[in-house]
Amino acid sequence: MYPFDPEAGNPKYTEFKKHYEERFHESPDCYAVHSYDGTMMTVEAIRKAGLNRYRIRDVLAAMTHWVGASGPIDLDLALSNRRPVIPVTVKDGKFVFGIPKMNRTF
């Protein structure tokens, strides 16, 4: 299972991936994408609240929906992301996203 689908065609992910690969010469993993989304949420909170840590915290706590590089993020009251996970298999050493087609004969 994977926390988001990098092949979904999300333009924010495409832009993030381009810049990430230019800088680090490798594709971003899920941790890089989620770190970026968290940072962008914090930047947005600072823009709204100014440089007051209490107001920044209040703005972040009020964010229940965010559309980031990893896709839509929906947070519950415990601030847990409730987005569904994506099934993934490995083929030839690479992730293959989505449900694999089974060729079974009975």
Q: What is the CATH number of the domain that holds 21?
A: 3.40.50.2300
Residues of the chain with pLDDT under 70: 99-106
Considering the domain boundaries, does residue 65 fall inside one?
Answer: yes
pLDDT 10s digits, 15-34: 999 999 999 999 999 999 99
State the pLDDT at residue 105: 57
Total count of domains within the chain: 1
Considering the domain boundaries, does residue 89 fall inside one?
Answer: yes
Work out the mean pLDDT of the chain and round it to a whole number.
Answer: 89
Helix axes 11-24, 30-49, angle to 10 degrees: 110
Q: Distance (Å, rounded) from C-alpha 61 to C-alpha 22?
A: 33
Considering the domain boundaries, does residue 105 fall inside one?
Answer: no
State the pLDDT at residue 81: 85
DSSP 8-state secondary structure symbol assigned to residue 74? E
Considering the domain boundaries, does residue 83 fall inside one?
Answer: yes
Q: The domain containing residue 30 runs over which residues?
A: 11-97
State the pLDDT at residue 100: 61
Considering the domain boundaries, does residue 103 fall inside one?
Answer: no
